[in-house]
Amino acid sequence: MIKARITVTLKNGVLDPQGKAIEHALSGMGFDGVGQVRQGKVFDVELVESDKAKAEADLKAMCDKLLANTVIENYSVAIT
Amino acid sequence: MKSAVVLLPGLNRDRDMIAALTKISGTPPVTVWQTDTEIPDVDLIAIPGGFSFGDYLRCGAIAARMPVMRAVAEKAAKGVMVIGVCNGFQILVEAGLLPGALMRNTSLKFVCRQVKLQIANANTMFTRRYQPGQIIRSPVAHHDGNYFADAETLRRLEGEGQVVFRYAEGTNPNGSINDIAGIINGQGNVLGLMPHPENLIEAAHGGSDGRALFESALGIAA
């Protein structure tokens, strides 16, 4: 079995109101020196597949077709 | 003119859409379920608002991958009119039938109120009963209506008259780029908008500003 972690983040230049709100909250809590905060998503996926190359190709297809909206988001796949 | 309404788990404006289409066209629309792979011969397919699949992952993302949406895409390619309202707009964008994306409102708040809309293009199948530049009222109710598209897509939308509805000055409820409230595809038969015209079609609603949209699409004299 292969385990993978997919990270989805907003592309540069895409406004992230949630990240901004978190950024302001952190400053308000007294965490000085917080720069920009961007919020993203993490998916931990288990695959029955044992072939790493095939798994990676499948995971990328999953990102392109569902897990990420590539209009606004980037993704990275890490097999753990 | 015959119409169909797409039903998905979690939608909650389907009855409003069915009521509006029935009242305006005189004939109840047929309904199609998420697992249906074929849609009967109709002139207009409507995807109502709500929270399909609980807005999990991204608004409209899971609904857009259901079998019925492949059937909608096939019909759209053949020129059948498709309208997506609110969650329906989010589904059309996620399905790739309209460009761009709908993101969280900049206020981070769910907005439920009436806004003013400007008819940015009155030369479409959906807006021909309005005057160019006309200001109409419409309810909005959404958490993720903040329209975004990359610069090139935006240039194309603006250049080709694909921006159909714009929030009138000072009423943009969600931070949408260029005050965009609704867009149409290049072929001119797929419309998506965040406001709810189906909720303003008769006196009991407090106005009928949304009625002309359905009269335009259904080819009914005002």
Query: How many CA atoms, within 13 angstroms, populate the side-chain half-sphere of residue B99?
Result: 17
Please name the amino acid found at residue B28. Answer: P
> Mean pLDDT across the stretch B63-70?
97
Where residue A13 sits, what CATH number does that domain have? 3.30.1280.10
d(CA B191, CA B25): 19
- The domain of B47 spans 3-103+150-163+181-218
Is B170 within the bounds of a domain? Answer: no
Please name the amino acid found at residue B65. Answer: R
Which among B59, B94, B143, B196 is annotated as catalytic?
B196
Is B126 within the bounds of a domain? Answer: no
- Report pTM: 0.94
B59 counts as catalytic = no
Mutate to test the interface with A, among B53, B55, B57 (most CBs of A within 10 A): B57
Q: What is the pLDDT of residue B57?
A: 96
Using CB atoms within 10 Å of the CB of residue B126, give its burial: 0 to 12 exposed, 13 to 18 middle, 19+ buried.
Answer: buried
The stretches in chain A having pLDDT less than 50 are none
Is B37 within the bounds of a domain? Answer: yes
Q: What is the pLDDT of residue B220?
A: 84
- The domain of A32 spans 2-79
Residue of B nearest to A22 (CA): B108
> Mean pLDDT across the stretch B20-49?
97
Residues in chain B within 8 Å Cβ distance of A67? 57
Q: What is the pLDDT of residue B169?
A: 87
Where residue B21 sits, what CATH number does that domain have? 3.40.50.880
**For residue B60, which of B167, B144, B174 has the smallest C-alpha distance?**
B144
> Mean pLDDT across the stretch B185-209?
97
Write down the ipTM of this complex.
Answer: 0.85
pLDDT tens-digit profile of B109-126?
999 999 999 999 999 999
Pick A72's closest partner by Cβ from B101, B107, B175: B101
Structure tokens at B55: 């807005």
Q: What is the pLDDT of residue B222?
A: 59
> Mean pLDDT across the stretch B25-31?
96
Residue of A nearest to B59 (CA): A69
A72 and chain B in contact, CB less than 8 A: yes
pLDDT tens-digit profile of B140-179?
999 999 999 999 999 999 999 999 999 998 999 999 999 9
Is B88 within the bounds of a domain? Answer: yes
Is B173 within the bounds of a domain? Answer: no
Is B205 within the bounds of a domain? Answer: yes
Over 90: is that where the pLDDT of B130 sits?
A: yes
Is B139 within the bounds of a domain? Answer: no
Per-residue pLDDT band for B96 (boundaries 50, 70, 90) equals very high
B198 counts as catalytic = yes
Per the structure, how many domains does chain A have? 1
pLDDT tens-digit profile of A27-44?
999 999 999 999 999 999
Over 80: is that where the pLDDT of B90 sits?
A: yes
Residues with Cβ < 8 Å from B155, sequence gap 6 or more? none
Q: What is the pLDDT of residue B150?
A: 94
Pick B58's closest partner by Cβ from A14, A65, A69: A69
B196 counts as catalytic = yes
Q: What is the pLDDT of residue B1?
A: 86
